């Protein structure tokens, strides 16, 4: 039995996001539920969240849930956030992820305030943030989610380049703060992401929120770990052939 309070809070978050009651994990397989309004995936997709030794899988219809339950019953839980495991058992048309899920307890936070970096704030809808987003690829812009933040933006400016790094968070259910961080391509590798993310994390903790860091790139995961975030799980979404 896992009595880690951080993990318990994270489990409650994802059960809330499923939008339906979640039964206990069965022996030898994932928890698969029909959840047409689930926030684990885009509409009509199948979403998986792996936390510790349990996998929660949400499907948009009863028929899809039955199909997924039968196909994944014999798949080891540790593989249920891997695209290849789904491709072996199901007709997968498209994939989002996997992404690592990391969370932070206040006692584990390691603030980062380098003396040569000044972090200031901007409103979440400030035009400079859009200009920063325009400096990166569409994939990077979508990955960071900076255009969806509900907190203030914590930013670093440089005289020649203007805004070069920014972070904030989006309010999620369960008083969760979903971190969003972006550094301009020419300013990466200098600790700026860590500096602005530290400021955004501090703001979230001061508001009694649970900081969440979801990332695919290893560089992003390193920033989270440096601040004290713990990787507790992973997330994967798939669209099956024949499902719009």
Q: Provide the CATH number for the domain around residue 115.
A: 3.40.630.30
| Same domain assignment for residues 41 and 82 | yes
Question: 29 lies in which domain range?
Answer: 5-100+234-240
Query: What pLDDT, on a 0 to 100 scale, did the predictor assign at position 26?
Result: 62
| Same domain assignment for residues 219 and 117 | yes
| Same domain assignment for residues 214 and 115 | yes
| Same domain assignment for residues 170 and 217 | yes
In terms of Cα–Cα distance, which of 86, 52, 53 is closest to 72?
86
- Structural domain count, the chain: 2
φ and ψ at 19, to 5 degrees? Answer: 85, 5
The pTM assigned to this predicted structure is 0.92
Query: What pLDDT, on a 0 to 100 scale, did the predictor assign at position 21?
Result: 84
Query: What pLDDT, on a 0 to 100 scale, did the predictor assign at position 28?
Result: 55
Query: What pLDDT, on a 0 to 100 scale, did the predictor assign at position 1?
Result: 44
Integer Rg of the chain from CA: 19
> For the stretch 58-72, what's the b/e string if a residue is b when 16 or more beta carbons lie within 10 angstroms of its beta carbon?
bbbeeebbebbbebb
Query: What pLDDT, on a 0 to 100 scale, did the predictor assign at position 243?
Result: 62
pLDDT average per 10 residues of sequence, the chain (244 residues): 82 91 72 88 90 91 94 90 93 94 97 95 95 90 91 93 94 96 93 97 98 93 97 94 70
Pure H helices in the chain: 5-18, 62-72, 83-89, 127-133, 138-144, 192-206, 218-227
| Same domain assignment for residues 218 and 119 | yes
Query: What pLDDT, on a 0 to 100 scale, did the predictor assign at position 27?
Result: 60
φ and ψ at 54, to 5 degrees? Answer: -125, 140
Taking each helix axis from N to C end, the angle separating 218-227 and 192-206, rounded to the nearest 10 degrees, works out to 50
Query: What's the DSSP call for residue 88?
Result: H
Report how far apart, in Å, the C-alpha atoms of 124 and of each of 135, 148, 168 are.
18, 8, 8
Separation of alpha carbons 244 and 231, rounded Å:
32
| Same domain assignment for residues 40 and 16 | yes
| Same domain assignment for residues 71 and 152 | no
| Same domain assignment for residues 64 and 146 | no
| Same domain assignment for residues 131 and 216 | yes
Separation of alpha carbons 145 and 166, rounded Å:
11
> For the stretch 180-199, what's the b/e string if a residue is b when 16 or more beta carbons lie within 10 angstroms of its beta carbon?
bbbbbeebeebbbbbbbbbb
Query: What pLDDT, on a 0 to 100 scale, did the predictor assign at position 143?
Result: 84
């Amino acid at each position: 039995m896992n009595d880690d309070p951080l993990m318990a809070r994270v489990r409650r978050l994802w059960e809330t996001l499923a939008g339906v009651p979640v039964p206990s994990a069965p022996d030898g397989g994932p928890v698969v539920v029909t959840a047409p309004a689930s926030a684990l995936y885009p509409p009509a997709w199948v979403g998986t969240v792996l936390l510790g030794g349990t996998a929660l899988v949400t499907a948009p219809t009863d028929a899809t849930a039955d199909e997924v339950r039968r196909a994944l019953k014999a798949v080891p839980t540790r593989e249920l956030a891997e695209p290849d495991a789904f491709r072996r058992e199901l007709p997968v048309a498209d994939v989002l992820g996997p992404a690592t899920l990391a969370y932070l307890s206040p006692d584990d936070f390691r603030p980062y305030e380098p003396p040569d970096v000044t972090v200031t704030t901007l409103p979440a809808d400030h035009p400079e943030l859009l200009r920063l987003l325009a400096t990166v690829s569409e994939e990077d812009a979508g990955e960071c989610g900076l255009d969806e933040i509900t907190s203030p933006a914590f930013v670093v400016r440089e005289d020649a380049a203007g805004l070069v790094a920014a972070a904030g968070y989006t309010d999620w259910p369960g008083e969760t703060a979903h971190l969003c961080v972006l550094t301009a391509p020419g300013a990466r590798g200098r600790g700026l992401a860590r500096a602005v993310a530290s400021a955004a994390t501090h703001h979230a903790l001061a508001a009694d929120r649970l900081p969440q860091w979801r990332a695919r790139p290893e560089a992003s995961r390193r920033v989270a770990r440096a601040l004290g975030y713990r990787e507790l799980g992973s997330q994967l979404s798939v669209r099956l052939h024949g499902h719009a």
